[in-house]
Structure 1
Amino acid sequence: MDEVITAADASSIAGSTSSGSSIIPNNLPLLSAFLSFALAQFLKLFTTWYKEKRWDSRRMLGSGGMPSSHSATVTALAVAIGFQEGTGGSAFAIAVVLACVVMYDASGVRLHAGRQAELLNQIVCELPPDHPVSNVRPLRDSLGHTPLQVVAGSVLGCVVAYLMKS
């Protein structure tokens, strides 16, 4: 016979499975990852100013640059999981593998794609004005990260996760 769950039963079941508080404030890995991402993006304003002597608010939303927000995010996630659940669990293993893939991609594939975009932009600029491709909008060339930017993001992620643990 099929059971029918009433709205009162569903409410009772939901109430018994939740602790009465929101998921996010109790989730150290998630908070650490989000905070690391936000800090890395915010710091790009200052590293851009230091390097180029100009303020560029678009850096807060863009990829590439110092420090790597991708690296900061996945490193904070892995470290916070390690602090919270230990380093012997599956969640930590998944987070470490994810971090390695993201950081490899940021400093490898995406960095080289950005360098190719830069070269293609130079080639297009040298085309005669009547060439069909000469009016194409330039490609984004700040896609990836140098190894130093990846390391800086990782250090930021570790520091944020450590400070959030305390």
Structure 2
Amino acid sequence: MANFSDNTVFWSSFFAWLIAQVLKGLLAICTHKRLDFRRFVGAGGMPSSHSAFVSALATGVGLTDGWASTTFALSVVFSLIVMYDAAGVRLAASKQAATLNKMVTELFDEREFHHERLKEFIGHTPVEVIVGALLGILTGWWLVGVK
């Protein structure tokens, strides 16, 4: 009887996500010359950890269940939806948040106005999604494909 802890498809997805989050934090340190812990755990930025997670999942399912299996097809469709959302809907929400934050700052610069800044790092550019997907495919192939 197999244990969940032996599920290499899950663990490949988890490690793809973890690697993407660590890379995100390290890239933020290199770019901004300071430690920002939010970049290690937050959404948005290079590479997309969501894309890494779901593409590792799809790769692992393909390697385990077969490239013609229904579960592989389902995981690919799920992955494409997640990646489209990351680069489409969530990127648009990021841009809107940045615009609204700028408008509030300019409008109420000299007046007292208490507001919570909107999160601007929630979406991804297409390049961030592609790099995350490639990271996930490589991680899935490495952890599930090696037997």
> Partner letter of residue 3 of structure 2?
S
Q: Distance in 2 between matches of 1:22 and 1:113?
A: 40
Is 1:23–2:4 an aligned residue pair?
Answer: yes
Structure 1 residue runs of 5 or longer lacking an equivalent are 1-18
Q: TM-score, normalised by structure 2?
A: 0.93
Q: Give distance in 2, aligned partners of 1:77 and 1:22.
A: 18
Q: Runs ≥4 in structure 1, deviation > 2 angstroms? A: 128-131
Deviation readout 1:17-37 (Å, 9 max, x if unpaired): xx1x42221x12111111111
- Are 2:118 and 1:139 equivalent residues in the alignment? yes
SS, match of residue 126 in structure 1:
helix
For 2:127 and 2:23, the matched residues in 1 are separated by: 15
Structure with bigger helix share is: 2
Q: 1:102: how far off? A: 0.3
Q: Which has the larger radius of gyration?
A: 1
| Aligned equivalent of 2:87 | 107
Partner of 1:16: none
Cα offset, 1:45, TM superposition: 1.2
How big is the shift at 1:70? 0.2
Residue in 2 aligned with 1:89?
A: 69
Is the 1:28–1:84 Cα contact (8 Å) retained in structure 2? no
Within 5 Å, which residues of 2 pair with 1:45-64?
A: 45-64=25-44
Cα distance in 2 for partners of 1:50, 1:63 equals: 18
Matched, 1:120 2:100: yes
**Residue 47 of structure 2 is aligned to residue 70 of structure 1:** no
Identity, % of aligned pairs?
A: 40
* Amino acid paired to 2:77: V
Equivalent pairs counted in the alignment come to 144
Rounded to whole Å, the distance in 2 between the matches of 1:108 and 1:72 is 17
Q: CA RMSD in A?
A: 1.2
After TM superposition, give the deviation of residue 130 of structure 1 in Å: 3.8
The 2-side partners of 1:142 and 1:58 are apart by 10
Compute the TM-score of the two structures, normalised by the length of structure 1.
Answer: 0.83
Summarize deviations over 1:85-119 as a string: whole Å, max 9, x none.
11111110110000000000000000010000000
Amino acid at match of 2:82: V
Unaligned runs of 5+ in 2: none
Asked if structure 2 preserves the Cα contact closer than 8 Å seen for 1:45 and 1:57, the reply is yes
Q: Which has the higher contact order (CA 8 A, sep 6+)?
A: 2
- In the aligned structure 2, how far is the partner of 1:61 from the partner of 1:104? 21
Equivalence for 1:3: none
> What are the Cα deviations for residues 39-61 of structure 1, in whole angstroms up to 9, with x where unaligned?
11111111112222222122111
